C-alpha cells in the first residue's frame, strides 16, 4: 500500500471491465432468451392451413384448425349480405372500412372462433328469427358463456360483455382455396 | 516435480488415441482419409443432387426439414417445390422422408435401409467416403454386390452406373473392370460432395458454429486481456 | 443518499445479516497472498457448475424423458430449438470440463495437503462432491438414449447385480424393469435434474463454509494466521475481494476461450466428449462393437476391468471383487486426511517418499485412464493391474512413509 495508487487508471479499468462484464452477461442472455421463441417444430405446426371453398355451401359454416384455434369460415347468403349494413347502428364498431364480409372476398367471412370477452367459442346461429337473446335476430354468433352477440361478420353488438369484434386471422384467397395464416 | 507431472499429462493428451466406436474400415486396413467441408455451398448442392438421385429412393433423412435445407443450401422456392419435393401433399416444413418404408426394404433387401441423417456422425466421414468407393461385384451375394468396408452389406451397388464395376483381385485389391459414366476423378468428387452433404445433414448448425465461433473466442480473448490488466493493477497493492 | 443506504442496510442487517456474511465470505475474508495456478480450479469449478445448472435447466425445457421420445428430442434440441445446439454442446462439454477441473482441484489438494488438520471436513465434502459428480455424470449420460448411453449404463448397472445375495433384485429395483428401459430413463432423469444437483448445491455450500472457517491453504503450507497486522488482517493474507476475485477473472477468461473453442470447433472432442455410437438410438438387440466409458470415468473403469480374478474360497467372483476394488478406489480418497501423518502440509517440504508416491499415484491414474478407453488385451490388462496396485500403494502406505520420512523446515512466512 506504500506505493502511490493511480486512481484514474483504476477508474478507467473499472469502467472497461464493467462494460466487458455487461457485454458478457448480455451475450450469454441472448441464446437463452431466444431459445424461448417458437421452435421450428412450433413454426411447422403453426404454418398456414388451406381450405377448399368449393365444398362449402351457401349459408354454411366450416371450422378449421389453425394454431390450435378454431377458424370459422362462413359462406354468406345474399340475404345476409343485404342485412349486414342494416346492423351498422347496432354494433359497437361497424368496421365499414373492412368491407361487408370483413375478408378479402365478397362472399366469405373468416373469423377466429374465440369470443373477445373471455375466450369461449361463440356458436353460429344463421337463422333470421326471434331468439331468446334478441327478438330481431338477423343471424350471427352468440356466445353461450356470457351472452355476447356478434353479427354474421363477427361484429360485436352494443351492450354485451365482449368489447371488440371477433378477430380476423391473416388469410388470403387463391381461386377456390382459402389460405389461413401467413402465406408461405 | 510439478513440471514432471505436467509433462506426463501432456504426453497423455498428445498422441493419437483410438476413441470408443472408432470404426475401422472392415476388411480394409484403414479408411481413406476424408474430412468433410460443409462450407462449400456448391458442393453441398451437388451432394444433395447425388443424394436425391442415388440414395433417396431408399434412405430418409428423418430429422432434416425441407425448409431448413432450403434456407441453409440457398435453394430457390420453386426448385424446392417442383424439383425436389415433387409431391404437393408434402409441406416445406415436413421432414425429408422418402418412399421406401422399413417393411418394404426388409422384404426386398433383407435388411432395412437405415436413416442417414446421423449416419456420418455414427460412422465418421472417412468411413462413409471409403464405403461409397468400396463396392465390388460378388456373384455369391443375392444382389450381386458386396462391400469391402461392410462385408455382406445388403445395400445393392447403386453407384455402378457412374463409377463402373469393380472386382476383387486375388490379392484383395479392387480392380475396375468396366467404365461408368463418370471418370474416376469426377466420381471421387461426386462422392466427396455426397459426404459433405451427409455431414451437413447430420449437423446443420455446423456451418454456423464453425463460421461464428471465432468471434466468441476473440471476445473472450479481449475479456481475458482486460481482466488481466485489472488484476495486475490491483495485485500491486499486495506485492 | 449514502445515509439512507446505511440505514436501509441497518434495517436489513438486524433482520438478516447480509453485511456480516458478505464481509465474512467475500469482502474481508483473508486469503493467502501468494498461491500458484493450482489454486484457480476452485473458482473455475464454481463457474462450470453454474454453466451446467443453467444450460441444464434450459435443456430440460425441451427434452422428453421417455423411451420413445428421448433420442428424437435431443435432435429436436439440436435442430429446431433456437440455440438449442449451443446449450447442448455447452452442457456436454461442460461435463468433461467439470471432471477435468475437479481432478486438478483434488490433485492440488493431495499435493499441498489441503486435507490436513483442520481441513478434514473441507476435503470430505469435496470427496462427496466427486462422488455426486460421478453419479450425476452417469445419470445424465443415459438421458440422450443413444447406443452408448444404453450399453454403458447396462454395464454399470450389472455391477449392482454382482453383489452377492441381494444383487439381482437390487439391479431390477434400480432399473424398475427386468432390463434397462424407459422406466429407468424416467427415474434417472428425475435424479439427474433434481436430487443430485440439490445435494451438490448443499455440499458446495458446506465445502465453502468449512473452508472459510479454517482458512484457505497455500502451496507452502504456511499458516498465515500466525502473523497479523494491527487490524487483525494476516500479514501474508489479502481480502478475498478485490484481490482474489480480480485474480480469478482473467483465469475465467482463459477458461472460456478454451471451453468455447471446444464447443464451437470440436464439440465431439474427437469422440471423447460425445461418443460416435451415441448418435444412434438405443437398440436393445445390438451392442456396439466396443463399449468404452467417457474419458472421465476411464481410470475407474480400468480398475474395474483389471480385476480378472476372484476369491473363490470366500465365494467372491471376479466381477464382484472388481466392483469392490472399484468402489474402494473412490472410497480411499475419503480417508486420506487420516492416512497422512506428516508434520508438514505441502509436498514442497515433504520427503522423497511422498514425492515418489505422488508421482506414482498420478502416473497410474493417467495410465488407467488411457487404458480405460482402449479395448482390452492381455498386455493392457497386466499394465492395468500394475497401475491399480500403484494407485493404491502410495495411499495405503502413506501412514508409514509420511511418519518416518525426513521433512524440510517450513518457513514462518509466505
Grid coordinates representing C222 are 504456511
Which residues of chain C have a CB within 8 Å of the CB of A41?
A: 76, 80
Determine the pLDDT at residue B5.
Answer: 53
Q: Is the pLDDT of residue C127 over 60?
A: yes
Determine the pLDDT at residue C412.
Answer: 84
Q: Is the pLDDT of residue B110 over 80?
A: no
Establish if A135 touches chain C: CB-CB under 8 angstroms: no
Could you tell me which chain C residue has the CA closest to the CA of A38? C81
The DSSP 8-state label assigned to residue C195 in this structure reads I
Please state, in angstroms and as integers, the Cα–Cα distance from residue B117 to each residue in B51, B56, B96, B111, following that order.
12, 12, 9, 18
Establish if B223 touches chain A: CB-CB under 8 angstroms: yes
The DSSP 8-state label assigned to residue C266 in this structure reads -
Question: What mean pLDDT comes out for the span C188-206?
Answer: 97
Residue B13 within any structural domain of the chain: no
Grid coordinates representing C27 are 469482502
Question: What mean pLDDT comes out for the span B207-214?
Answer: 94
Determine the pLDDT at residue A184.
Answer: 47
Question: For residue B143, what are the domain limits?
Answer: 23-230
| pLDDT digits 0-9 by tens, C234-273 | 888 888 888 889 999 999 999 999 999 999 999 999 888 9
Q: Which residue has the higher pLDDT, B237 or C141?
A: C141
Give me the long-range contacts of C6-13 (CB less than 8 A, separation at least 24). Answer: none
Q: Which of B132-146, B153-167, C134-148 has the highest mean predicted lDDT (pLDDT)?
A: C134-148
Question: What mean pLDDT comes out for the span A138-154?
Answer: 89
Q: Provide Rg for chain C, Cα atoms.
A: 24
Q: Which residue has the higher pLDDT, C114 or B143?
A: C114
Residue B17 within any structural domain of the chain: no
Question: What mean pLDDT comes out for the span B80-98?
Answer: 86
Question: What mean pLDDT comes out for the span C51-63?
Answer: 97
Those residues whose C-beta lies under 8 Å from the C-beta of residue C79, and which sit 6 or more positions away, are A40, B63, B64, B65, B68, B204, B205, C85
Please state, in angstroms and as integers, the Cα–Cα distance from residue C110 to each residue in A146, B107, C106, C285, following that order.
74, 62, 6, 44
Establish if B233 touches chain A: CB-CB under 8 angstroms: yes
Choosing among A21, A29, A39, which should be mutated to test the C contact, i.e. which has the most C CBs within 10 A? A39
Establish if A40 touches chain B: CB-CB under 8 angstroms: yes
Q: Is the pLDDT of residue C132 over 80?
A: yes
Minimal CA–CA distance to B193: which of B87, B6, B37? Answer: B37
- Per-domain boundaries in chain C: 292-414
Q: Is the pLDDT of residue A80 over 70?
A: yes
d(CA B51, CA B198): 9
Question: What mean pLDDT comes out for the span A34-52?
Answer: 90
Establish if C75 touches chain B: CB-CB under 8 angstroms: yes
Question: What mean pLDDT comes out for the span C190-214?
Answer: 95
Determine the pLDDT at residue A2.
Answer: 47
- In this prediction, residue B13 has a pLDDT band, given cuts at 50, 70 and 90, of very low
The DSSP 8-state label assigned to residue B82 in this structure reads I
Beta-carbon separation of A39 and C61 below 8 A: no
The beta-carbon neighbor of A41 closest among C58, C76, C249 is C76
Beta-carbon separation of A13 and B229 below 8 A: yes
DSSP H or E run through B147: strand B145-147
CB pairs under 8 A between B and C: 136
Q: Is the pLDDT of residue B27 over 80?
A: no
Minimal CA–CA distance to C233: which of C3, C5, C409, C31? Answer: C31
Q: Is the pLDDT of residue C368 over 70?
A: yes
Determine the pLDDT at residue B108.
Answer: 60
Distance (Å) from the alpha carbon of C79 to chain A's nearest alpha carbon: 8
Question: What mean pLDDT comes out for the span C69-91?
Answer: 96
Q: Is C91 annotated as a binding residue?
A: yes
- In this prediction, residue B2 has a pLDDT band, given cuts at 50, 70 and 90, of low
**What pTM was computed for the model?**
0.89
Beta-carbon separation of B20 and C268 below 8 A: no
Which residues of chain C have a CB within 8 Å of the CB of B224?
A: 250, 253-254, 257
Residue B120 within any structural domain of the chain: yes
Looking up residue B210, the CATH number of its domain turns out to be 1.10.760.10
| pLDDT digits 0-9 by tens, C276-320 | 999 999 998 888 877 788 899 999 999 999 999 888 888 888 888
Distance (Å) from the alpha carbon of C373 to chain B's nearest alpha carbon: 6
Beta-carbon separation of B222 and A27 below 8 A: no
d(CA C144, CA C274): 11
Distance (Å) from the alpha carbon of C221 to chain A's nearest alpha carbon: 25
Q: Is the pLDDT of residue B16 over 50?
A: no
Q: Which residue has the higher pLDDT, A82 or C116?
A: C116
The beta-carbon neighbor of B233 closest among A9, A20, A44 is A9
Residue B236 within any structural domain of the chain: no
Distance (Å) from the alpha carbon of A4 to chain B's nearest alpha carbon: 9
**Cα torsion C275, C277, C280, C284: sign:** negative
For the CA atoms of C141, C142, C148, C151, the dihedral, rounded to the nearest 10 degrees, stands at 130
Q: Is the pLDDT of residue B153 over 60?
A: yes
Distance (Å) from the alpha carbon of A39 to chain C's nearest alpha carbon: 5
| pLDDT digits 0-9 by tens, C139-167 | 999 999 999 999 999 988 988 888 888 98
Establish if B234 touches chain C: CB-CB under 8 angstroms: yes
Please state, in angstroms and as integers, the Cα–Cα distance from residue B146 to each residue in B28, B46, B50, B132, B155, following that order.
13, 26, 21, 11, 8
Q: Is the pLDDT of residue C57 over 60?
A: yes
Which residues of chain A have a CB within 8 Å of the CB of C58?
A: 32, 35
Question: What mean pLDDT comes out for the span B64-75?
Answer: 94
Could you tell me which chain B residue has the CA closest to the CA of A12? B230
Establish if A3 touches chain C: CB-CB under 8 angstroms: no
Determine the pLDDT at residue B221.
Answer: 97
Q: Are B71 and A184 in contact (CB under 8 A)?
A: no
Question: What mean pLDDT comes out for the span B200-223?
Answer: 96
Beta-carbon separation of B123 and C276 below 8 A: yes
Beta-carbon separation of B230 and A44 below 8 A: no
Q: Are C100 and C299 in contact (CB under 8 A)?
A: no
Q: Is C290 annotated as a binding residue?
A: no
Establish if B139 touches chain C: CB-CB under 8 angstroms: no
| pLDDT digits 0-9 by tens, C2-44 | 677 888 999 999 999 988 888 888 888 888 888 888 999 999 9
Q: Which residues of C touch A (CB under 8 A)?
A: 54, 58, 61-62, 76, 79-84, 86-87, 249
Establish if A27 touches chain C: CB-CB under 8 angstroms: no
Beta-carbon separation of B230 and A23 below 8 A: no
Beta-carbon separation of B124 and C276 below 8 A: yes
For chain C, percent of residues with pLDDT exceeding 70? 100
Chains in contact with chain B (at least 3 beta-carbon pairs closer than 8 A) = A, C
d(CA B122, CA B116): 10
Q: Which residue has the higher pLDDT, C62 or C155?
A: C62
d(CA B165, CA C403): 76
Beta-carbon separation of A47 and B93 below 8 A: yes
If one counts the domains in chain B, the total is 1
Could you tell me which chain B residue has the CA closest to the CA of C354? B1
Choosing among A6, A15, A20, which should be mutated to test the B contact, i.e. which has the most B CBs within 10 A? A20
Determine the pLDDT at residue A135.
Answer: 81
ipTM associated with this complex: 0.90
- In this prediction, residue B9 has a pLDDT band, given cuts at 50, 70 and 90, of very low
Establish if B225 touches chain A: CB-CB under 8 angstroms: no
Q: Are A64 and A56 in contact (CB under 8 A)?
A: no
Mean confidence (pLDDT) of chain C: 92
Which residues of chain A have a CB within 8 Å of the CB of C79?
A: 40
Q: Which residue has the higher pLDDT, C217 or C196?
A: C196
Determine the pLDDT at residue B99.
Answer: 67
Q: Are B225 and C240 in contact (CB under 8 A)?
A: no
Which residues of chain A have a CB within 8 Å of the CB of C81?
A: 35, 39-40
Establish if C236 touches chain B: CB-CB under 8 angstroms: no
Q: Is C227 annotated as a binding residue?
A: no
Determine the pLDDT at residue B15.
Answer: 37
**Cα torsion B48, B49, B53, B54: sign:** negative
Establish if B64 touches chain C: CB-CB under 8 angstroms: yes
Q: Is C207 annotated as a binding residue?
A: yes
Q: Is the pLDDT of residue B8 over 60?
A: no
Beta-carbon separation of B94 and A44 below 8 A: yes
Amino acid at each position: 500500500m506504500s506505493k502511490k495508487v493511480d486512481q484514474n487508471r483504476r477508474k478507467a479499468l473499472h469502467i472497461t471491465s464493467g462494460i466487458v462484464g455487461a457485454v458478457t452477461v448480455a451475450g450469454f442472455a441472448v441464446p437463452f432468451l431466444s431459445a424461448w421463441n417458437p421452435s421450428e417444430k412450433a413454426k411447422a405446426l403453426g404454418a398456414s392451413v388451406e381450405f377448399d371453398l368449393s365444398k362449402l355451401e351457401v349459408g354454411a359454416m366450416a371450422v378449421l384448425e389453425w394454431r390450435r384455434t378454431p377458424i370459422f369460415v362462413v359462406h354468406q347468403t345474399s340475404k345476409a349480405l343485404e342485412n349486414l349494413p342494416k346492423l351498422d347502428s347496432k354494433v359497437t364498431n361497424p368496421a365499414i372500412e373492412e368491407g361487408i364480409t370483413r375478408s378479402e372476398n365478397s362472399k366469405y367471412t373468416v373469423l377466429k372462433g374465440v369470443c373477445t370477452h373471455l375466450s369461449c367459442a361463440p356458436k353460429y346461429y344463421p337463422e333470421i328469427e326471434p331468439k331468446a337473446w334478441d327478438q330481431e335476430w338477423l343471424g350471427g354468433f352468440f356466445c353461450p358463456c356470457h351472452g355476447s352477440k356478434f353479427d354474421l361478420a363477427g361484429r360485436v353488438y352494443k351492450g354485451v360483455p365482449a368489447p371488440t369484434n371477433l378477430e380476423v386471422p391473416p388469410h388470403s384467397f387463391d381461386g377456390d382455396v382459402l389460405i389461413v395464416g401467413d402465406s408461405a | 516435480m510439478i513440471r514432471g507431472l505436467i509433462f506426463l499429462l501432456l504426453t497423455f493428451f498428445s498422441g493419437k488415441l483410438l476413441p470408443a466406436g472408432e470404426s475401422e474400415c472392415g476388411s480394409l486396413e484403414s479408411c481413406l482419409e476424408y474430412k468433410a467441408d460443409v462450407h462449400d455451398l456448391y458442393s453441398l448442392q451437388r451432394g444433395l443432387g447425388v443424394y436425391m438421385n442415388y440414395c433417396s429412393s431408399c434412405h430418409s433423412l428423418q430429422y432434416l426439414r425441407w425448409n431448413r435445407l432450403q434456407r441453409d443450401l440457398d435453394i430457390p422456392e420453386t426448385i424446392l417445390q417442383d424439383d425436389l419435393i415433387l409431391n404437393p401433399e408434402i409441406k416445406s416444413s415436413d421432414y425429408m422422408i422418402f418412399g421406401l418404408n422399413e417393411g418394404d426394404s426388409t422384404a426386398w433387401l433383407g435388411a432395412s435401409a437405415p436413416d442417414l441423417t446421423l449416419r456420418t456422425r455414427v460412422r465418421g466421414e472417412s468411413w462413409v467416403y471409403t464405403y461409397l468407393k468400396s463396392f465390388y461385384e460378388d456373384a455369391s451375394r443375392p444382389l450381386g454386390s458386396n462391400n469391402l468396408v461392410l462385408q455382406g452389406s445388403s445395400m445393392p451397388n447403386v453407384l455402378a452406373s457412374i463409377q463402373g464395376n469393380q472386382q476383387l483381385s486375388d490379392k484383395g485389391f479392387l480392380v475396375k473392370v468396366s467404365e461408368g459414366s463418370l471418370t474416376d476423378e469426377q466420381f471421387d468428387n461426386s462422392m466427396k460432395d455426397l459426404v459433405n452433404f451427409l455431414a451437413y445433414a447430420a449437423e446443420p448448425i455446423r456451418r454456423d458454429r464453425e463460421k461464428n465461433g471465432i468471434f466468441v473466442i476473440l471476445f473472450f480473448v479481449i475479456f481475458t486481456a482486460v481482466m488481466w490488466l485489472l488484476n495486475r493493477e490491483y495485485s500491486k497493492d499486495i506485492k | 443518499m449514502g445515509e439512507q443506504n446505511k440505514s436501509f442496510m441497518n434495517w436489513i442487517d438486524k433482520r438478516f445479516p447480509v453485511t456480516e456474511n458478505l464481509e465474512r465470505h467475500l469482502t474481508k475474508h483473508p486469503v493467502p497472498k501468494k498461491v500458484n495456478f493450482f489454486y484457480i480450479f476452485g473458482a473455475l469449478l464454481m463457474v462450470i457448475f453454474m454453466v451446467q445448472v443453467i444450460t441444464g435447466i434450459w435443456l430440460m425445457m425441451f427434452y422428453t424423458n421417455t423411451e420413445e421420445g428421448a433420442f428424437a428430442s435431443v435432435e429436436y434440441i439440436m435442430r429446431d430449438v433456437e440455440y438449442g445446439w449451443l446449450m447442448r454442446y455447452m452442457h456436454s462439454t461442460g461435463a468433461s470440463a467439470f471432471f477435468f477441473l475437479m481432478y486438478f482441484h483434488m490433485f492440488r489438494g493431495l499435493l499441498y495437503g489441503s486435507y490436513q488438520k483442520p481441513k478434514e471436513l473441507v476435503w470430505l465434502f469435496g470427496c462427496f462432491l466427486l462422488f455426486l459428480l460421478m453419479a450425476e455424470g452417469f445419470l445424465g449420460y443415459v438421458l440422450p438414449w443413444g447406443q452408448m448411453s444404453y450399453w454403458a449404463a447396462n454395464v454399470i448397472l450389472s455391477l449392482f447385480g454382482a453383489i452377492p445375495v441381494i444383487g439381482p433384485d437390487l439391479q431390477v429395483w434400480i432399473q424398475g424393469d427386468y432390463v434397462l428401459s424407459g422406466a429407468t430413463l424416467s427415474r434417472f432423469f428425475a435424479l439427474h435434474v433434481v436430487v443430485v444437483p440439490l445435494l451438490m448445491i448443499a455440499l458446495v455450500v458446506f465445502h465453502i463454509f468449512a473452508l472459510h472457517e479454517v482458512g484457505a491453504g497455500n502451496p507452502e503450507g504456511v499458516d498465515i494466521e500466525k502473523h497479523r497486522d494491527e487490524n487483525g488482517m494476516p500479514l501474508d493474507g489479502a481480502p478475498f475481494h478485490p484481490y482474489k476475485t480480480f485474480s480469478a477473472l482473467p483465469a475465467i477468461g482463459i477458461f472460456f476461450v478454451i471451453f468455447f473453442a471446444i464447443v464451437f470447433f470440436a464439440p465431439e472432442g474427437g469422440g471423447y466428449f460425445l461418443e460416435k455410437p451415441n448418435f444412434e438410438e438405443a437398440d436393445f438387440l445390438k451392442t456396439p462393437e466396443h463399449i468404452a466409458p467417457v474419458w472421465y470415468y476411464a481410470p475407474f473403469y480400468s480398475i474395474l476391468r483389471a480385476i480378472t480374478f476372484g476369491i473363490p474360497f470366500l465365494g467372491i467372483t471376479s466381477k464382484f471383487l472388481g466392483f469392490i476394488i472399484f468402489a474402494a478406489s473412490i472410497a480411499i480418497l475419503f480417508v486420506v486426511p487420516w492416512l497422512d501423518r506428516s508434520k508438514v502440509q505441502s509436498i514442497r517440504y515433504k520427503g522423497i517418499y511422498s514425492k515418489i508416491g505422488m508421482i506414482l499415484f498420478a502416473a497410474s491414474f493417467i495410465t488407467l485412464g488411457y487404458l480405460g478407453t482402449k479395448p482390452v488385451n492381455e498386455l493392457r490388462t497386466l499394465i492395468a493391474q500394475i497401475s491399480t496396485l500403484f494407485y493404491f500403494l502410495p495411499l495405503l502406505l502413506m501412514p508409514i512413509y509420511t511418519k518416518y520420512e525426513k521433512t524440510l523446515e517450513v518457513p514462518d512466512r509466505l
